[in-house]
């Protein structure tokens, strides 16, 4: 940690800070420049992070040097983490994982039909929401446990890994009972109690980046889960909120290589929610594979016109199948496979 | 709702949409322009909002006309809502309400000292966090129920209304047992289950705007609480996330008059979290009062150097007291009082 | 254009608006809904765009229906525009165009060395700045005309198309004299006089998207150039400003397919400025090709440690060459070539 | 400047950096921590700012310590700068300055009428655009020199200081001939040649913050003008671009106190362009005065319905006059006057 002092900082103020730093068991290094004095602090920054050095008289700015996350960092683990999702599917290796399915589970029949189609096209994970986070209290909120049962049934029948969102600390046990992978949605990325709760299960967790969360914050949220004992975390870039309004969100494609530099955790991309328009899902999926993502999560619906949620961004099975074909060719020249 | 068709939309496509609209019990008005056809839909938009008209062939864009919130809207209730916080304090009237106290409750002694000071300066509500949403799992997470007990004790002793954050659906009953006003923090603004849960109590709720939430989304989240039966909602502008990094967040001061045009609910401002620096709290507080806010929530600590959370943005009691003096004069010329 | 009236709008107010619309030579269509009245206006929206209908009593909101650009739109020209850059290089077709070179031209020797290397790797356009837009008045501002002469000399020797930025209306003639393609930098995307000036030349223009410009605004700026008579415009996505600070800017990769839907103009991507870090240039370049960009502009320097500008984001020739190899393979499976 | 090394940096890499720093005439201070080594560099940072230390092997991050601006900084000049606008008007002192007038100059008659009204209400500066930066090439572009002549005539008749925007380096002499204060619009905040050009005049310059410019960048742009020899610079906060769309831009009210801490230059606020809606101009003006701004620039038009530009955000004279009354009372209790 670097403490930059104001030009007018007095000797007394400098000594007051030095004493505080020493009292915390750390070693201060003082460098007096022509314009101002700087104090470098050597030792574990955690201790300092909870001390508001900015309020000490004479201090202008405090600049942390070390990253605040530990377990998720590349320095903690050099090699890429590979997450076992069950049913023979592993995420984070040469083989890309494609998750597909409807935004919300509507009924067993439609789910079975969609599941059959996405499996045929090469998806190995079936997505489907039973608890839906909806901006409006008047919108369809999901089928709840009924939906989870359908998802489990179809997943078991077809040998597909299942994933569904959990929104409430009280539902973690329930959702974990039925699905293979727990999804934390973007609005709950900083629902810290929920993170702690899924950290206590051993289930793989897909953690979606918050709409306005920095990559550092995403990693800190993952750190909550890992520090609870669950290292089976998959990160997901799904677009951030910017001023641009021609897409629902702005897919931050750079997040994939940036995260891969900082962390050992795998990263997938959700082009459907990023774009909000089905017509952009194919090009964005290809970009995601090219940039190095470990997988994709894509909304597919047999009848988007009748979907209860996010119809506008759902691919019909034919388009999904044709996209999968293109992705397979693409993956191959990149040294991957699907 | 306005449906804008593509220039190349066929008669068949247009008829397909018209039939769908009619099937939903609504009335379509077709206007054929020189370049494209537009369909205006008359009737309750709710029905349409869950129908993804964007995916119908021939549709270019769908533009909603009506606001998606109802109970929170100015049209639902013309006059300003006044929220009774108990202990004789009402929020939303000519008398501005100032909430003050430490970010986190640390121990009884410090809390009593701070509470005494902020009361003397004119605050009528005591804030203090017992459950703290912290970006890092390694940071101080709050005293929990112990902290709530301290808050209640001090509030009762001094006749101050108390407010504290609830972060978990499982804790709503617990927090409601001890405090007068439930706070929903910015990270939980779209934790819809939590909103539903506080909507089932009758306690006043302070709903903070999410870091990247639009005003419309803030109102939709309030709608969750009101639609649950609890009309005692206070909104709080606390800064949004932008590219500017000289302040922690960017206080969106315009949100106050914008919300007052759209809704009957009262709005207060949190200058401490918006700025992240105590030196900006005084000018931003004055701006908030001048722009028409119904109150303020300000972090005050007797010893910011030792605060376990947010020390950098806390005012010392002397500065808070001097600010309150300025605000009183300001309020008077604006036809308000403190 | 759709005019949404307030619920309380009077008959008199509605008639006042209708008269105004008719006086402008347009046809109003009035739809009276249960909650409010809407007026659809048929006819050229241009006339209305300069009339501030929002200030008419009774008006709540005005929603434009048609895009404000014409010549750049897909509707104006269905097929993709192919821009002839000279020296046998065409941009916008199956053959992707890679522009490469140093951020700033420093001296003839270095430029020749870099140019030789990028040509060998497959680039067909040589970039190099002679007029540099620098945030600080104390930073190196470029060699000016001397630099342009060097660029022309090297371009002619090696048969490379040349591109360089023009920042001042007074310099358009000068820059056009020496280079093949005029570049308008992101800070000048809305320097409308500069746009008019390059619109009066017949030189190809590379128009970079402004840091906080919407795609619609980028197209409007291109419209300035086309409406001046110069249809040789290439658009460039180079990252937008967001809250994320792990990259210099956020590459808006979705902009490529979005622009291709809206416009016939070709689009290239600048991964160097978007990322600000050379380590991200390769993955972002691959994503750009996969998403459908017509080309790339990449900073290359033989000795980034000594570069006078943007060294941190420059590739060394070996890395550039290896990236070009990967891009060629990638292009092939996407039906393109380099 | 602080150079943070990677954990795996070798002795050789560290020595390579130390040599480079010494060769630049600076003194490196090496601190070896438990996890990584840090090099603090003492001496003028300018030299380092042009050296891309990030690309040196072993370097993880480079953190500047000193602000990149000099002449505009509070450290360069402790006391507030007061800018003499001529005609007895000074900006930056206890007396607040209100600039008012139409967005665009339309004809002499309307301008005279508006000018008379704003003068009567207490404005001392008349604004009016003759060169208009318009997003669309098809929109009204201003009357040019004709408009400037009208502005001069009316300003002279009524004894009002005049201000108008200059957009082109070629027009600086022309605009300076007619008006008292040169305005640099937000789109030209980083038109560095234009900044240099107005820096060579002695005219007061109003420099508007760019839509997506940080405060630091605004100060750097002002530095261009001061470093050219013209210290008569007034800064203007006019809203930044964010995701919030209920206002045209988001007024960054905190910018005023932040700038006052960092710089000696005066700051005014433009509530009209920030909000884009006349109904928000009054509350935002009051907030601006309360937060400590040195003045305001407000759009006023006698007939907003017929304005050729920005009618939606213009106040009618009666509302402007009534606002001025409120601002006078407010200024008084804040120790200022209008």
Q: Which residues of D touch A66 (CB under 8 A)?
A: 35-36
Same domain, C56 and C104: no
Same domain, C153 and C282: yes
Q: What is the pLDDT of residues C4-46, one digit of tens each?
A: 888 888 989 999 989 888 888 888 888 887 677 888 887 666 6
Q: Does D316 touch chain B (CB under 8 A)?
A: no
Q: Does D258 touch chain A (CB under 8 A)?
A: no
Residues 6+ apart with CB under 8 A from C209: C186, C189, C215, C218, C235, C236, C237, C238, C240, C252, C255
Interface of B with A in 145-174 (CB under 8 A): 167-170
Tokens linked to A110: 């439609």
Straight-line distance from the first to the last Cα atom of chain A, in angstroms, rounded to the nearest whole number = 44
Q: How many domains does chain D have?
A: 2
Q: What is the pLDDT of residues D164-178, one digit of tens each?
A: 999 999 999 999 999
Q: Does C289 touch chain A (CB under 8 A)?
A: yes
Residue A74 lies in a domain: no
Nearest to D42 among A4, A34, A242 (CB): A34
Q: Which residues of D touch C224 (CB under 8 A)?
A: 137
- Residue A175: CB atoms within 10 A of its CB come to 24
Asked if D215 lies within 8 A of B274 by C-beta distance, the reply is no
B269 has pLDDT over 80: yes
B306 has pLDDT over 90: no
- Residue A94: CB atoms within 10 A of its CB come to 12
- Residue B48: CB atoms within 10 A of its CB come to 20
Q: Does D211 touch chain C (CB under 8 A)?
A: yes
Same domain, D117 and D247: yes
Question: Chain D interface, mutation test: which of B254, B272, B326, B329, most D Cβ atoms within 10 Å?
Answer: B254
Residues 6+ apart with CB under 8 A from C30: C14, C18, C37, C38, C39
Same domain, C113 and C249: yes
Same domain, D22 and D125: no
Asked if D254 lies within 8 A of B245 by C-beta distance, the reply is no
B249 has pLDDT over 70: yes
Same domain, B276 and B149: yes
Residue B33: its pLDDT value, please? Answer: 73
> Domain holding D9: CATH number?
3.30.70.1140
Same domain, C189 and C282: yes
Q: Does A177 touch chain D (CB under 8 A)?
A: no
B228 has pLDDT over 90: yes
Residue A25 lies in a domain: yes
Q: Which residues of A touch D73 (CB under 8 A)?
A: none
Q: Does C251 touch chain A (CB under 8 A)?
A: yes
Longest dimension (CA), chain A: 76
Report the C-alpha gap between C126 and C98 in whole angstroms: 9
Report the C-alpha gap between C78 and C34 in whole angstroms: 41
Q: Which residue of A has its CA nearest to C259?
A: A246
Q: Which residue of A has its CA nearest to D67?
A: A35
Q: Does D284 touch chain B (CB under 8 A)?
A: yes
Q: Does B319 touch chain A (CB under 8 A)?
A: no
Q: Does A12 touch chain B (CB under 8 A)?
A: no
Residue C66: its pLDDT value, please? Answer: 75
Tokens linked to A175: 């959702």
Residue B77 lies in a domain: no
Nearest to A284 among C215, C254, C284 (CB): C254
Considering only B41-50, B133-142, D262-271, D321-330, which range has the smallest mean pLDDT?
B41-50
Report the C-alpha gap between B176 and B158 in whole angstroms: 19
pLDDT level of residue D45 (50, 70, 90 thresholds): low
CA distance C264 to chain D (A): 19
Residue C39: its pLDDT value, please? Answer: 87
Q: Which residue has the tokens 């897409």?
A: A247
Same domain, B260 and B114: yes
For residue A207, list its beta bridge partners.
A184, A235
Nearest to A287 among C216, C253, C274 (CB): C253
Report the C-alpha gap between D183 and D206 in whole angstroms: 5
> Domain holding B311: CATH number?
3.20.20.70
Residue A310: its pLDDT value, please? Answer: 73
Question: Chain A interface, mutation test: which of D65, D213, D245, most A Cβ atoms within 10 Å?
Answer: D65
Same domain, A51 and A188: no
What is the percent of chain C with per-residue pLDDT over 70, rounded to a whole number?
97
Considering only A258-267, B16-25, C127-136, which range has the smallest mean pLDDT?
B16-25
Q: Does C200 touch chain B (CB under 8 A)?
A: no
| CB C205, CB C166: distance < 8 Å | no
pLDDT level of residue A50 (50, 70, 90 thresholds): low
Which chains pack against C, by 3+ Cβ pairs within 8 A?
A, B, D
Residue D35: its pLDDT value, please? Answer: 73
Q: Does D242 touch chain C (CB under 8 A)?
A: no
Residue A324: its pLDDT value, please? Answer: 98
Top-confidence residue, A287 or A18: A287
- Residue C32: CB atoms within 10 A of its CB come to 12
Interface size between B and D, measured as CB pairs under 8 A: 120
Nearest to A243 among D34, D40, D241 (CB): D241
Residue A325: its pLDDT value, please? Answer: 98
Residue B307 lies in a domain: yes
The predicted model gives D47-68 an average pLDDT of: 78
The predicted model gives A67-71 an average pLDDT of: 89
Sign of CA dihedral D126, D127, D129, D130: positive
Asked if A283 lies within 8 A of C261 by C-beta distance, the reply is no
Residue D316 lies in a domain: yes
**φ/ψ of residue C203, rounded to 5:** -70, 145
The predicted model gives D208-218 an average pLDDT of: 96
The predicted model gives A257-267 an average pLDDT of: 97
Residue A48: its pLDDT value, please? Answer: 66
Asked if C241 lies within 8 A of B243 by C-beta distance, the reply is yes
Q: What is the pLDDT of residues B25-47, one digit of tens each?
A: 888 888 887 677 888 887 666 66
Domain encompassing residue A283: 83-333
Nearest to D218 by CA among D67, D49, D50: D67
Question: Chain A interface, mutation test: which of D21, D26, D40, most A Cβ atoms within 10 Å?
Answer: D40
Nearest to B241 among C38, C40, C243 (CB): C243
| CB D9, CB D37: distance < 8 Å | yes
| C22-36, C89-103, D307-321, range with greatest mean pLDDT | C89-103
Same domain, D161 and D270: yes
Say what the ipTM of the complex is: 0.93
Interface of C with D in 99-118 (CB under 8 A): none
C50 has pLDDT over 90: no
Question: Chain C interface, mutation test: which of B8, B9, B31, most C Cβ atoms within 10 Å?
Answer: B31
Q: Does C245 touch chain B (CB under 8 A)?
A: yes
For residue B91, list its beta bridge partners.
B83
Top-confidence residue, C5 or A80: A80
pLDDT level of residue C329 (50, 70, 90 thresholds): very high
Question: Chain D interface, mutation test: which of A40, A46, A61, A78, most D Cβ atoms within 10 Å?
Answer: A40
The predicted model gives C142-161 an average pLDDT of: 97
Same domain, D136 and D267: yes
Measured CA to CA in angstroms, residue B303 lies from A34, A48, B313 at distances of 32, 17, 12
Q: Does B34 touch chain C (CB under 8 A)?
A: yes
Q: Which residue has the tokens 């090699």?
A: A79
Ordered DSSP codes for B250-294: B-BTTHHHHHHHHBSS-EEE-HHHHH-SGGGHHHHHHHHHHHT-S
For residue D2, list its beta bridge partners.
D40, D63
| A325-334, B131-140, D135-144, range with greatest mean pLDDT | A325-334
Asked if B251 lies within 8 A of D253 by C-beta distance, the reply is yes
What is the percent of chain A with per-residue pLDDT over 70, rounded to a whole number?
97
Considering only A104-118, A126-140, A223-237, A240-254, which range has the smallest mean pLDDT?
A126-140
Residue D71 lies in a domain: no
Asked if A46 lies within 8 A of B138 by C-beta distance, the reply is yes
Q: Which residue of A has its CA nearest to B242?
A: A242
pLDDT level of residue C233 (50, 70, 90 thresholds): very high
| CB C223, CB C71: distance < 8 Å | yes
The predicted model gives B176-182 an average pLDDT of: 98
Q: What is the pLDDT of residues A214-235, one digit of tens each?
A: 999 999 999 999 999 999 999 9
pLDDT level of residue D271 (50, 70, 90 thresholds): very high
pLDDT level of residue A23 (50, 70, 90 thresholds): confident
Helix (H) or strand (E) holding B163: strand B161-165
Q: Helix or strand or coil: residue B109?
A: helix
Residue D48: its pLDDT value, please? Answer: 66
Residue C74 lies in a domain: no
Average pLDDT across chain D, whole number: 93
Same domain, B97 and B57: no
A202 has pLDDT over 70: yes
Question: Chain D interface, mutation test: which of C68, C136, C199, most D Cβ atoms within 10 Å?
Answer: C136
Which chains pack against B, by 3+ Cβ pairs within 8 A?
A, C, D
Report the C-alpha gap between C133 and C139 in whole angstroms: 9
Residue C311: its pLDDT value, please? Answer: 74
B68 has pLDDT over 80: yes
Q: Does B31 touch chain C (CB under 8 A)?
A: yes
Which chains pack against A, by 3+ Cβ pairs within 8 A?
B, C, D
Question: Chain C interface, mutation test: which of A259, A279, A287, most C Cβ atoms within 10 Å?
Answer: A287
Nearest to A52 among B133, B220, B307 (CB): B307
Residue D69 lies in a domain: no
Q: How far is CA C186 from the centre of its chain?
A: 8
B315 DSSP 8-state letter: B
B254 has pLDDT over 80: yes
The predicted model gives A184-194 an average pLDDT of: 97
Average pLDDT across chain A, whole number: 93
The predicted model gives C204-220 an average pLDDT of: 97
Q: Which residues of C touch D55 (CB under 8 A)?
A: 278, 304-305, 311-312, 314
| A199-208, B66-75, C53-62, range with greatest mean pLDDT | A199-208
D66 has pLDDT over 80: no
Helices (H), B58-187: 108-121, 145-158, 172-178
Nearest to A215 among C244, C253, C256 (CB): C244
Helix (H) or strand (E) holding B53: none
Q: Which residue has the tokens 């017929």?
A: D306
Q: Which residue of D has its CA nearest to A62?
A: D65
């Amino acid at each position: 940690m670097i403490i930059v002092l104001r030009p007018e900082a007095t000797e007394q103020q400098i000594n007051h800070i030095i004493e505080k730093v020493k009292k915390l068991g750390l070693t201060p290094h003082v460098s007096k420049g022509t314009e101002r004095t700087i104090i470098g602090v050597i030792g574990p920054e955690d201790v300092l992070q909870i001390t508001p050095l900015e309020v000490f008289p004479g201090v202008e700015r405090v600049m942390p040097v070390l990253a605040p996350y530990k377990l998720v960092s590349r320095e903690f683990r050099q090699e890429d983490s590979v997450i076992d999702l069950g049913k023979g599917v592993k995420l984070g290796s040469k083989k890309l994982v494609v998750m597909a399915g409807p935004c919300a589970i509507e009924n067993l029949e439609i789910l079975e039909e969609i599941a059959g189609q996405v499996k045929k096209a090469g998806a190995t994970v079936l997505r489907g929401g039973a608890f839906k986070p909806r901006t409006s209290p008047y919108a369809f909120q999901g089928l709840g446990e009924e939906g989870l049962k359908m998802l489990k049934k179809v997943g078991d029948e077809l040998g597909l890994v299942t994933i569904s969102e959990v929104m409430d600390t009280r539902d973690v046990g329930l959702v974990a009972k039925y699905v293979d992978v727990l999804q934390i949605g973007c609005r709950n990325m900083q629902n810290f109690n929920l993170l702690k709760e899924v950290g206590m299960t051993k289930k793989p967790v897909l953690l979606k980046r918050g709409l306005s969360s920095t990559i550092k914050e995403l990693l800190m949220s993952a750190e909550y889960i890992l520090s609870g004992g669950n290292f089976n975390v998959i990160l997901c870039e799904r677009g951030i909120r910017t001023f641009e309004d021609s897409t629902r969100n702005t897919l931050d494609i750079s997040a994939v290589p940036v995260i891969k530099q900082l962390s050992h955790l795998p990263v997938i991309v959700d082009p459907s929610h990023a774009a909000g328009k089905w017509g952009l899902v194919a090009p964005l999926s290809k970009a995601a594979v090219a940039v190095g993502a470990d997988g994709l999560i894509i909304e597919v619906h047999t009848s988007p016109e009748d979907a209860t949620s996010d119809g506008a961004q759902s691919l019909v099975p034919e388009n999904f199948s044709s996209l999968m074909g293109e992705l397979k060719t693409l993956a191959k020249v990149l040294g991957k496979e699907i």
